[in-house]
A and B are shown apart, each in its own frame.
Chain A
């Protein structure tokens, strides 16, 4: 069999074998993680450094506008940013514009309580879900406690210690919208354009391309896009945990999954190259 025939045969292989190779290629790095180095990309760095340099006691709104269908990508980002804020003495105000985001956000804050000893209503606040989308975003610009009369757990927001100095966006240093849809743009329209509060997006890989124009225009300060950004942020937060000698085993979910993802993508690139070589060789034979 000549090299040409080999490539042509390879390009016509049954797709089930391709699925099998990809499955094996994904499973091996999940079981034996190769721990590829994580170098922070510029968009992630901008968000990380912005939070890292905020004065202690600043407030950041973390809106969990995602649901379980995109959790593998977005949930590790939410967990990492919550931990980052708490480690730097910044008070994250959790909320969600989507019903299913509430449970996921609670899980992230519970993990921060376990790992960092964070205290609810002192080190963080979770306001929960509020119906209305854009109307909620606009309402927060006037009076946060007016939009959320109680937090997720039923405590009156006027009685929450950490919320005492907070009135509206003027007291908020940054809003990050974690989402698998176009909700971050809604934040740009109603929170950034109307009230001038700084906004960042933490989104899935599929939708990332749609948000670059908003970074270019300065409407987002930065963006966490897809599993890669989740792994980079998780790695950076783990470095802070290491510096602080926090003994709890750091979360490596996103790093591990990104390693598998990298192998999977390498395989896809390989298949595309083989398929193209086979296609052009078969055309030349005709």
Chain B
């Protein structure tokens, strides 16, 4: 057993334990750690944004290299801050309008291509397949997409013959999907706990015998 002598490891360990005290009940130790995290994350974020985004992208070109075109994004950015002043807060709409306009223009064609066209293409049966497994996979995908789409198609009553059976297949496949997703979720939640336990046992307490 080799307990860490690194002060930062100790700070991490004590803060982890402080957060874990919430398992018992809400308490000042937990709240202290929580507030410390929020404050630190904000401070860290501010410094990184200033150093990696604001300084090289705004300060240097506008104030050092005197590229006056950068006044436009700089002023638009400043307008976001007007939300703090009720009399001129209407100005926040202008940069938002620019962002929404550019964002929509950029994303609509690409989003349709990515989410609808490419996805639809991949669910169409395209024989021949190299072996039986690929055939089965393609069929499951094809049947799955059609039956789940039917399940979520509410313009036809689901008690009609044919529709009822197909939507039931869709429901069954959805349940399988949820089950698989739940399995992944269990693994992910365990991973977070195991990550902290591993830190406490091995990095802080050095308990591993080899």
Contacts and interface: CB of A to CB of B under 8 A. Distances in A.
A102 B48 contact: yes
* Interface of chain B: mostly helix, strand, loop or mixed: helix
A132 B113 CA distance: 22
Contact of A128 (B52, B111, B141): B52
A226 B184 contact: yes
A26 B52 contact: no
Contact of B187 (A100, A149, A228): A228
B114 A72 contact: no
A193 interface: yes
B175 interface: no
Nearest to B180: A209
Given A257-B191, A264-B190, A265-B186, A100 B45 contact: yes
Contacts of A78: none
Nearest to B196: A72
A268 B53 CA distance: 45
Contacts of A148: 56
A284 to B, nearest CB: 24
B197 A26 contact: yes
Contacts of B45: 99-100
Contacts of B189: 206
B131 interface: no
A206 B208 CA distance: 29
A262 B145 CA distance: 32
B198 A205 contact: no
Contacts of A149: 56-57, 60
B29 interface: no
Nearest to A256: B198
A198 B41 CA distance: 33
Interface stretch (B79-87, B88-96, B118-126, B151-159): B118-126
Contact of A129 (B48, B177, B184): B48
Interface stretch (A6-14, A86-94, A163-171, A213-221): A213-221
A26 B207 contact: no
Interface in A91-109: 99-100, 102-103
B49 A131 contact: yes
Contact of A260 (B53, B122, B198): B198
Interface string B179-210: 01100111111111111111001100001110
B184 A102 contact: no
A124 B57 CA distance: 23
A73 interface: yes
Contact of B188 (A30, A192, A226): A226
Given A152-B52, A217-B122, A261 B187 contact: yes
Interface string A189-218: 110111000000000111011000100111
Task: List the 5 shortest-distance A-B pairs measured between CB atoms, nearest first.
Answer: A72-B195, A205-B188, A217-B122, A131-B53, A206-B188
